[in-house]
């Protein structure tokens, strides 16, 4: 979920601390969302592609979904759009070359913590981090070569507020429309810039996936595997990309997916 600097996409601004956990947790609308029925929405025999702009988005957004799909013995493929090499500009601690190895390794560790290393196949597309908007054609072509007719697609929300997240969501939505596939877009940065009952989010299309206390605990442990995103960069003064408040919001007892 790379945050190189404050991001602004239209009126979806990622700045400051954002809406806090307590506001979301206390919103009755969250409790009243329809449940995501995994058995009917992710039926047996269909492959699930989790399409993540950066290493960590698959865990921040979908750790609970991944755990529950694995329990159902579904075929899961993680498509890593980038390797997150631009998360620490000008850093001597985390150079792009180092991050090209570090960040996929962090994903591997996180999947191991979730007990999913043997349940999830990872495919790296190696697009340039921070430039997915300019590479939408390449992403479209790469996904076209990967996607099968019966696949179910999961990606970041196409109004999530981060340019890479939104570009990924747009491309996946286009493929969904063209091929009549099922697609679920997960909220990640939207928890930061949006507010309860925010009209910029199509809540009428939203489905919630309830996580058990154990799944939440495992998700938290998996997030802590992304060490590069949790530390202060002493060589540049950049603070942690994943702040405590960001992590707390991500650990709501539900993951929320927009049925696209």
| Span 180-209, pLDDT tens digits | 999 999 999 999 999 999 999 999 999 999
Residue 2 clears pLDDT 60, i.e. is over it: no
Residue 232 is assigned to a structural domain of this protein: yes
Residue 192 is assigned to a structural domain of this protein: yes
Residue 65 is assigned to a structural domain of this protein: yes
The pLDDT value recorded for residue 1 is 61
In this structure, what CATH number is given to the domain that contains residue 11?
Answer: 3.40.50.10320
pLDDT bin (cut points 50, 70, 90) of residue 244 is very high
Here the tokens at position 49 are 């592609």
Inter-CA distances, 11 with 56, 86, 158, 199, 207, Å:
25, 24, 14, 12, 24
Strand order in the sheet with 34-35: 34-35, 206-210, 254-259, 182-186, 152-156, 48-52, 76-82, 120-127
Share of the chain above pLDDT 70, in %: 97
Share of the chain above pLDDT 90, in %: 93
Comparing 173 with 15, the larger pLDDT belongs to 173
Q: How many domains are contained in the chain?
A: 1
Residue 194 is assigned to a structural domain of this protein: yes
Express each pLDDT in 51-99 by its tens digit.
Answer: 999 999 999 999 999 999 999 999 999 999 999 999 999 999 999 999 9
The pLDDT value recorded for residue 49 is 98
Helix (H) and strand (E) counts in the chain: 10, 10
The pLDDT value recorded for residue 30 is 96
Residue 215 is assigned to a structural domain of this protein: yes
Residue 217 is assigned to a structural domain of this protein: yes
Q: Which helix (H) or strand (E) holds 110?
A: helix 96-113
The Cα–Cα gap between 198 and 130 comes to 27
Q: Tell me the residue range of the domain where 37 lies.
A: 7-259
| Buried residues in 236-253 as b, exposed as e (16+ CB within 10 A) | eebeebbbebbbbbbbbb
Q: What is residue 184's three-state secondary structure?
A: strand
Residue 2 is assigned to a structural domain of this protein: no
Residue 1 is assigned to a structural domain of this protein: no
């Amino acid at each position: 979920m790379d945050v190189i600097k404050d991001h602004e996409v239209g009126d979806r601004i990622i700045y400051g601390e954002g809406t806090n956990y307590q506001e979301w947790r206390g919103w009755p609308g969250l409790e009243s969302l329809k449940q995501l029925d995994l058995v009917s929405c992710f039926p047996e025999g269909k492959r699930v592609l989790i399409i993540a702009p950066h290493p960590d988005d698959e865990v921040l957004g979908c750790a609970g979904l991944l755990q529950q799909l694995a329990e159902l013995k579904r075929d899961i493929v993680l498509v890593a759009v980038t390797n997150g090499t631009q998360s620490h500009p000008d850093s001597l601690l985390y150079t792009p070359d180092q991050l090209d190895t570090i960040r996929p390794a962090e994903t591997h560790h996180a999947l191991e913590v979730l007990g999913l290393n043997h349940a999830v196949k990872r495919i790296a597309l190696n697009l340039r981090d921070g430039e997915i908007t300019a590479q939408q054609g390449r992403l479209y072509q790469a996904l076209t070569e990967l996607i099968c007719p019966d696949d179910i697609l999961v990606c970041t929300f196409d109004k999530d507020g981060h340019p890479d997240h939104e570009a990924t969501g747009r491309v996946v939505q286009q493929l969904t429309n063209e091929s009549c596939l099922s697609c679920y877009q997960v909220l990640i940065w939207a928890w930061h810039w949006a507010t309860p009952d925010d009209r910029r989010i199509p809540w009428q299309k939203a489905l919630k996936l309830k996580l058990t206390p154990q799944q939440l605990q495992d998700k938290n442990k998996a997030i802590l595997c992304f060490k590069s995103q949790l530390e202060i960069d002493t060589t540049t003064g950049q603070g942690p990309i994943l702040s405590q408040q960001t992590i707390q919001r991500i650990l709501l007892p539900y993951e929320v997916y927009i049925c696209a």
